[in-house]
Every structure is written in C-alpha cells, then in structure tokens.
Amino acid sequence: MANDHNHDSSHGHHYILPDGVAFKAFAALLVLTVITFALSFVHLGSLNYVVGMLVACVKATIVVGVFMNLRKDDPSNTVIFASGFVFLAIFVVLTSTDLLFRGNVYTNNKPIFKAIAGPSKFKKPWEPTPELVAHGKDVFSQQCVSCHGAAGEGNGPAAAALNPHPRNFTQDAGWKNGRKPSQIFKTLKEGIAGGAMASFATLPMDDRWALSHYVASIGPNILKDETADLAKIGVDPTKDSAGSDAAPSVPVEWAMKKLVQEAGAGSGKQVVPGASDSLMHYGDRLDAATFSKQKP
C-alpha cells in the first residue's frame, strides 16, 4: 500500500555519481581556473571581461551540472534554478537604464556612453556662429522660457511670483554681470545669488555657450567679447576647445550647512548641527570632522 510506514525500499533510482566522472569534472575545473588566471595577464581590452565571465560560466555549469547532479535530475529543478538568473538579469538591465544613462552630474563629467553625452560639436564655442545661436534658441525654449518668457522679455508664466523679477534680455538695464556672451556664460554657470536665477552648470558647456550667444543676440545691440573678457572666465582664444568644466556638484558639507541654516530660519530657533531637537535631524549623526575628510 502506498502509505506503508515501515522499511520502505521504494527509494526510486538514485543516481550515484561515479568517482571517475567526479574526478574528470574536478580536473576540468582546475584547468579552467588556470586558464582564467593566465588569460588575465593577456590584455584584450574589454574582451577580457567577456572571456573571464564565459570561463566562469563554464565552470559554474560543471559544478551545477555534475557536482549538483542537475544533468541527471528532474528538468524542473534546472528551470527553477535558472529562473533566479533570469530575474537577476532583469534587475541589472533595468537598473542600468537609470544609473548608466544619467549624464554629467553623476559621472564626474565623463560620458558613459558617447551617444548620450557626446564630444564637443563646436570648435571655439565662445565665437558666435549662426548654428550656435540657433541651438541656443532651442535650449532657451526648453530651459529659460518659463521665467524669461518666449521673447526673453522677463515675463514668463513663473515671473509673476518672482522677486527680483527675471531679467528682460531685450533691454540694457539691470544686468548684474553684464551683457557680453562671456558674462552671460558666467551667469549661467554660477547663477545669481539672492534671487531665483539658479546655476545652470549642469547643462553641457556647448549648450551654455549657445545660450550665451542667443541671449546676447536678442539684446538692444550685440556686444562682443575681447580677449580680456575671455581670459576672465579662463578661455584661451588661441585654442580650439575650452577644456572641461569643473564638476557641477556642490560640496555635501556646504549643502548640509545650508539646509540646517534654512531649517532654523524664521523659527526664531538657533539650529545647531548636532542638536537633537533640530527639526530635520540632519545634524544628529554628522560632524564636521567626518565630512572634512570626504570629497563630495
């Protein structure tokens, strides 16, 4: 009867791995390990990765197929085990669509994939050209219009709520840094303190030069940069390229201080980093010493 509790000889046919097969698998694993090690000294560029991982996969197949008996086992066990790797692949692929396609801010200005953050298209971008101005107009319509308005008159939809008012680019009055392209470039890079004009240093350099030329072009008259003006922002006009920009991130230390200050602003309370009743608790486990050693 099926429910016999006593000495039950219905073991089924258990496959016992023959010692010879086990030894051959072991030997193969040793050889493959030596091959991996040897190949790591041969410089094949990114092919090293492919080869290394491929050999590892072969070794893994031997361990799983022979040592763990999958090759002789119920195929559903193979399906079960393999499914883990399928979902791991989904995890890494979809996460990569974010982390590896972000562009400048998170990669210290180095492009991960050239297609996304390509090399500079313009030589001597500080010299105005029709293409730069046209490109600048495009970027303007995406980045600037909401405050400065479609015609750059400082009357965009968000302008009503801003004090000070966004700059009217069609007039001469009020430019804090000046109207020359290099001066507009400086404004874009640093922002303007005390107002809503943020730093746009996260835009690629080419975009910022293009914007500078476009904004200069809609002024009452177009001003030109002299060599001295360019020198002020670190551009050598005898070269073709302006080099790379500094990393567009703020030091974390500075950001923490600002946040703690703002949390206390207006509440009449003195917010001190480390104080346990601070509203945001950012201060609690931080201390200047910890962060002075770290780069952002």
Partner 1 sequence: MGNHGQVTPGTYHHGHHWKNAHEEFEGAKQGMWVFLVTEVLMVGALFVGYIIFRAMYPEAFHEAHKLLNPKLGLLNTFVLITSSWTMVLGVSSIQRGQVSRCLAYLMTTVGFGFVFLIVKYFEYSHKIHEGILPGGLYTYKELAMDKVPLFFSLYFMMTGVHAFHVILGMGLITWVMLRVKRGEVSKQFFTPVELVGFYWHFVDLVWIFLFPLLYLLG
Partner 2 sequence: MAHANSTSHGSNYLNHEKGLWSWLTTVDHKRIGLMYLATVLTYFLVGGIFALLIRLELFTPGGGNLITAQTYNRFFTYHGAIMVFLVIIPAIPGSIGNFVLPMMVGAKDVAFPKLNLFSYYVYLAGGIFATLALFLGGADTGWTFYTPYSIRTSGAVILVVFGAFIAGFASILTALNFIITIHKLRAQGQSWSRLPLLCWSLYATSVIQILATPVLAITLALLIFERVFKIGIFDPALGGDAVLFQHFFWFYSHPAVYIMILPAMGVISEIIPVFSRKPIFGYKAIALASFGIALVAFIVWGHHMFVTGQSELANFVFSLLTMFVAVPTGVKVFSWVGTMYKGSLTFNAPMKYAMGFIELFTIGGLTGVFLATLPIDVHLTDTYFVIAHFHYVMVGGTIMGFVGGMHYWFPKVTGKMYNESSASVAFWLILLGFNLTFFPQFIAGAQGMPRRYWSYLPEFTLMNQLSTIGSWFLAVGFAWTAIYMIRDARKGPKAGDNPWGAGTLEWQSPSPPPHDNFPVDPVVTTWPYDYRGIKI
- 204 close to 197: Cβ distance less than 8 angstroms: no
* DSSP-assigned states of every residue in 26-41: HHHHHHHHHHHHHHTT
Distance in angstroms (rounded) separating the CA atoms of residues 230 and 208:
15
Residues 90-129 that bind partner 2 (CB under 8 A): 90-91, 94-95, 97-99, 101-103, 106
Q: Kindly state the smallest distance separating residue 193's Cβ from partner 2, in Å.
A: 24
* 22 near partner 1, rule: CB under 8 A: yes
The b-or-e profile of 86-120 (16+ CB within 10 A means b, else e) is eeeeeeeeeeeeeeeeeebeeeebeeeeeeebeee
- 144 close to 196: Cβ distance less than 8 angstroms: no
Q: Name which position in 2, 193, 246, 289 contacts partner 1 (CB under 8 A).
A: 2
Q: Name which position in 71, 123, 239, 281 contacts partner 2 (CB under 8 A).
A: 281
Residue 10 partner contact from partner 1, partner 2, none using kind-dependent CB cut-offs of 5 to 8 Å: partner 1
124 Rama class: left (phi>0) / alpha (psi -120 to 50) / beta: left
* 53 near partner 1, rule: CB under 8 A: yes
- At residue 21's C-alpha, the angle toward residues 18 and 23, to 5°, is 110
Which one, 163 or 267, has the nearer CB to partner 2?
A: 267
Q: Name which position in 5, 43, 114, 285 contacts partner 1 (CB under 8 A).
A: 5
Distance in angstroms (rounded) separating the CA atoms of residues 114 and 260:
39
Contacts with partner 1 by CB under 8 A: the residue count is 61
Q: Kindly state the smallest distance separating residue 246's Cβ from partner 1, in Å.
A: 14
- At residue 134's C-alpha, the angle toward residues 129 and 138, to 5°, is 145
Residues 79-108 that bind partner 1 (CB under 8 A): 80-81, 83-85, 87-88, 91-92, 95-96, 99-100, 106-108
Residue 45 partner contact from partner 1, partner 2, none using kind-dependent CB cut-offs of 5 to 8 Å: none
- Span near partner 2 by CB under 8 A; candidates 57-65, 127-135, 219-227, 282-290: 282-290
Which one, 195 or 264, has the nearer CB to partner 2?
A: 264
Which one, 37 or 226, has the nearer CB to partner 1?
A: 37
Distance in angstroms (rounded) separating the CA atoms of residues 178 and 167:
11
Nearest to 228 by CA among 219, 237, 241, 216: 237
| Structure token pair of residue 218 | 């809609």
- 177 close to 229: Cβ distance less than 8 angstroms: no
Distance in angstroms (rounded) separating the CA atoms of residues 50 and 33:
15
Residue 155 partner contact from partner 2, partner 1, none using kind-dependent CB cut-offs of 5 to 8 Å: none
- 214 close to 137: Cβ distance less than 8 angstroms: yes
Q: Kindly state the smallest distance separating residue 109's Cβ from partner 1, in Å.
A: 12
- Span near partner 1 by CB under 8 A; candidates 71-79, 137-145, 175-183, 196-204: 71-79
**Residues within the interface to partner 1 (CB under 8 A):** 2-8, 10-12, 14, 16-19, 22-23, 25-26, 29-30, 33, 36-37, 40, 48-49, 52-53, 55-56, 59-60, 63-64, 67-68, 73-74, 76-77, 80-81, 83-85, 87-88, 91-92, 95-96, 99-100, 106-108, 112, 290, 294-295
